[in-house]
Amino acid sequence: MADYIAPIQRLIEQFRRLPGVGAKTAARYAFATLNLSEEECCDFADAISGVKRDVHKCPVCHGLSASADGCDICTSPARDSSVVCVVENAKDVMVMERVRGYRGLYHVLGGALSPLDNITPDDLTFDSLISRVEAGGIEEIIIATNPTPSGDTTAAYLARILEKYDVTVSRLAYGIPVGGDIEYADEVTLYRAMEGRRFFNN
Amino acid sequence: MADYIAPIQRLIEQFRRLPGVGAKTAARYAFATLNLSEEECCDFADAISGVKRDVHKCPVCHGLSASADGCDICTSPARDSSVVCVVENAKDVMVMERVRGYRGLYHVLGGALSPLDNITPDDLTFDSLISRVEAGGIEEIIIATNPTPSGDTTAAYLARILEKYDVTVSRLAYGIPVGGDIEYADEVTLYRAMEGRRFFNN
């Protein structure tokens, strides 16, 4: 593939690192970059090199933070520190934050248990979560791992190690997405929706 | 959209400059960039800032060149300098180069005539092409503008201004793409294919 001159070929190869970007899309991106002004190009390059430099890991929740001392959520006095939502990845925190109603804190595990990928409890931040629970003040842990085999395993493992502490443990409800159609729901989702059904006269 | 912390939000906005990239894709790219190593991130940033610095315009054909003195094609002694293929954009040169059979030179117009977008002959490199023709040595000009209204206009204009010179002027054949199916060809393409039909007994 020496179809392009060296600096363009080099940029195409960089764009191909991005998820779901093949040779054609990467070439399209490279030519679009070439059409940016000198200043826009500098801003773009700077944003990429800056993201590694300016993004820190929060020492409390292990989520992404603009400051090395702690993320905005953990350090905010407006948040309810008695509820902690446990998620797999830092990105999930931002997804959950779009649900404006939630005012509690988070804990990022850094992945999900997966024997096939050699991810054991030692690779995740369970110890750090237990320390937070032992420090006191936490009343409820909401497990928000993905509804996948590894997410389910992680949720079950977490529920078990939390058994001996005086905290309520819950997991996000799984069922038919709002606006979805029963006709197009898969069997597993329907089964989960049946299992998690709510009674009107309760 | 303050869902993400500042350095990530900034990178997302940069990725959104790319063609066809919306908020979700940009966020996906930004998190993928965050997962790159420090070194990979630097390489990526460097490739972006480098593309503006290292890519020059060839003074002869107006195509992209790794050197300011002239592109590899124009300076190559192996190319047939009696044939010049005229294309709209620099990217088209690289597309044409994949057709390994062509050994001639190129001329990049820098666009196509389009009164609606205020693109007049003065905005394109017609003068430079005429100078090349007047310098002598060119026997055939192959017009490879796009089969669009503006590409057709450009081809017609070019054919007219080249009339008074002693050069053969041709245009790429338009018709049914190889591997395509007549059933799915649009009417205009079919009309062009009829018009450009080749006779076996010729």
**3-class DSSP state of B84:** strand
d(CA B157, CA B153): 6
pLDDT of residue B201: 64
Q: Quick one: closest CA in B to A14, which residue?
A: B44
Confidence of residue A195 (pLDDT cuts 50, 70, 90): confident
Q: pLDDT tens for residues A55-91? A: 999 999 999 998 888 888 999 999 999 999 999 998 8
Q: Return the CATH number of B6-52, one of 3.30.430.20, 3.40.190.10, 1.10.8.420, 1.10.510.10.
A: 1.10.8.420
CA A16 to chain centre: 23
Q: pLDDT tens for residues A23-53? A: 989 999 999 999 888 899 999 999 999 888 8
Q: Quick one: closest CA in B to A42, which residue?
A: B49
Among A10, A33, A34, A49, most B C-beta atoms within 10 A, so best to mutate, is: A49
Q: What percent of chain A has pLDDT over 90?
A: 51
- Chain A residues close to B47, C-beta within 8 Å: 7, 10-11, 13-14
pLDDT of residue B2: 56
pLDDT of residue A1: 40
Show the 3-state SS of B11-80.
Answer: HHHHHCCCCCCCHHHHHHHHHHHHCCCHHHHHHHHHHHHHHHHHCEECCCCCCEECCCCCCHHHHCCCCE
pLDDT of residue B1: 40
pLDDT of residue A121: 92
pLDDT of residue A148: 87
Contact A31 B71 (CB under 8 A): no
pTM of the model: 0.75
Span A134-160, average pLDDT: 91
Span A106-130, average pLDDT: 92
Q: What is the pLDDT of chain A when averaged over all its residues?
A: 88
Q: Per 3-state DSSP, what percentage of chain A is helix, strand, and coil (rounded to 5)?
A: 45, 15, 40
Contact B48 A51 (CB under 8 A): no
Out of A19, A41, A94, the one facing B48 most closely (by C-beta) is A41
For chain A, residues classed under CATH 3.40.1360.10 are 79-171
pLDDT of residue B122: 92
More confident residue, B45 or A199: B45
d(CA B105, CA B112): 19
Q: What is the CATH number of domain A6-53?
A: 1.10.8.420
Architecture of domain A79-171: 3-Layer(aba) Sandwich (3.40)
In DSSP terms, B168 is beta-bridged to: B140
Contact A31 B91 (CB under 8 A): yes
Strand order in the sheet with B140-143: B104-108, B80-87, B140-143, B168-171
CB contact, 8 Å: A75 with chain B? no
For chain A, residues classed under CATH 1.10.8.420 are 6-53
pLDDT of residue A21: 94
Which residues of chain B carry a pLDDT beneath 70? 1-2, 201-202
In this structure, whether the domain defined by B78-171 belongs to CATH 3.40.50.300 is answered with no
Contact B78, B103 (CB under 8 A): yes
- Chain B residues close to A52, C-beta within 8 Å: 34, 36, 38, 41
